[in-house]
Amino acid sequence: MNEFQYRLGELCCEDVPLRKLAVEFGTPLYVYSESHIVGQYQALDKAFRGLDHMICYAMKANSTLAVLRSLARVGAGFDIVSGGELYRVKQAGGDAAKCVFSSVGKTREEIEYALREGIYCFNVESEAELQFLSDVAYRMGRRAPVAVRVNPHVDPDTHHYISTGKEESKFGISIERALKVYREATRLRGVEIRGVQMHIGSQITKTGPYVLAIKKMLPLVEKVQTLAPQTLRSFDIGGGVGIRYKDQTPPTAQQFAAAVKPLLKQASKRGLRILMEPGRFIVGNGGVLVTRVLYVKQTPVKRFVIIDGAMNDLIRPALYESYHEIQPVKAGKRTKAKVDVVGPVCESGDFFAQGRTLPVVEAGEYLAVMSAGAYGFAMASNYNSRGRPAEVLVKGRKYQLVRRRETRQDLVRGELLP
């Protein structure tokens, strides 16, 4: 995490000490580095130069308006999965014409909204959806641009909750059936074939599964182009490129591009634009969750560091047993101890680390939970009636509060007493 380094004994985000932000805005607090986020987008963009391409940031990873705006400003498109996400794109000043819409359960209202806004493409995940989409669009006097989300049955070698390209997955349409579905699409009045799409999973740390999946997909792409030569415009290779949380060695933008570009050139030569939908790669290592130590509790068998952040703020350790580094905000040589770092929520699953050897910390000091930029705030909830954290965006020496901490009033807003 290059933008999060110790300087003069303090962990900083770019040029701003995290302690300063924690004091000013309170904790738990999400802090993002704009330079990292925009830098990751630009690195990928640069790596794919020479190939007509569009990067649709998978905003489910982090849909905070300020983050979306930073990316929209440098030209990003967006991968959306709901009407709510499209609304956010619009609020942030993003371009609907650069949005692809995935989801196995798009509702009529969402489809109508997306059609009115003129999105680039619907990534269709079932035959039933294709038919429904066609009906809705036809009734509106339009043709919905579609890509079939094809499931190439490739094992991405990641956590099973976030592995999507295998045969048993609920996502997409099997590669064996895909061509039949495209043929059906040519007969429908309310759709127009715009693309072919795949997405095999998330936190993929090798290039092999992409190479394998793309190789499987290319013959299909060619056939679809024969079916719809006038309207087919793109091949979307999905998202999923992993990041380093602990000791993984995921590909850099350059390495990823070097692995897949030679294969994609074929499609590109035939006039197709290459789309991709990275989420975590762009924001994951661009954010941390700053928390304060409330208590240190020694039991006969364990030592607990109890912090003010909890599973409602960052659910990844509880949900995927995922590893996030934890660093004291104040540097310095200290002895180490084996601890569990836990939050105040009433669940044993409310932990950030278990049996981890960390520098000894005291009540009152700040800890940063690293690599929390993706699927952190975006998955936060109000469980235990805890307000969700504030968020700060840093750029160089400048910083700005981009989301206020939720108040007690926020917690009950929208509720009605009978």
**Of the residues 3, 14, 34, 79, which one makes contact with ligand LLP according to CB under 6 A:** 79
Interacting residues with ligand LLP between 170 and 199 (CB under 6 A): 199
**Of the residues 12, 18, 31, 61, which one makes contact with ligand LLP according to CB under 6 A:** 61
Interface region with ligand LLP, contact rule CB under 6 A, candidates 47-55, 225-233, 273-281, 405-413: 273-281
346: annotated active-site residue: yes
C-beta separation of 402 from 66 below 8 A = yes
Q: How many residues bind ligand LLP (CB under 6 A)?
A: 21
Per-residue contact string for residues 367-406; x = within reach of ligand LLP by CB under 6 A: -------xx-------------------------------
Instruction: Name the minimum Å distance from CB 271 to ligand LLP.
Output: 24
Instruction: Find all residues with CB under 8 Å of 317, minimum gap 6, and list them.
Output: 311, 323, 324, 351, 352, 353
Closest to ligand LLP by CB, 25 or 375: 375
Q: Tokens 């850099």 correspond to what residue? A: 252
The angle, 0 to 180 degrees and rounded to 10, between the axes of the packed helices 175-187 and 127-139 is 20
Interacting residues with ligand LLP between 314 and 353 (CB under 6 A): 316, 320
Closest to ligand LLP by CB, 241 or 307: 241
Per-residue contact string for residues 225-244; x = within reach of ligand LLP by CB under 6 A: -------------xxxx---
What backbone phi and psi angles, to 5 degrees, belong to 410? -60, -35
Q: Tokens 């992993």 correspond to what residue? A: 242
**Of the residues 35, 151, 203, 225, which one makes contact with ligand LLP according to CB under 6 A:** 203
C-beta separation of 360 from 335 below 8 A = yes
Is there binding between residue 104 and ligand LLP (CB under 6 A)? Answer: no
Per-residue contact string for residues 12-51; x = within reach of ligand LLP by CB under 6 A: ----------------------------------------
Query: Which among 13, 99, 121, 346 is annotated as catalytic?
Result: 346
**Of the residues 33, 102, 205, 285, which one makes contact with ligand LLP according to CB under 6 A:** 102
Give residue number: closest CB to ligand LLP.
279
Per-residue contact string for residues 154-173; x = within reach of ligand LLP by CB under 6 A: --------x-----------
Q: Which tokens belong to 67?
A: 């983050």
**Of the residues 113, 182, 245, 281, which one makes contact with ligand LLP according to CB under 6 A:** 281
Closest to ligand LLP by CB, 208 or 271: 208
Closest to ligand LLP by CB, 18 or 314: 314
Catalytic residues: 346
Task: State the residues that interact with ligand LLP by CB under 6 A.
Answer: 58, 61, 79, 102, 162, 199, 202-203, 238-241, 277-281, 316, 320, 374-375
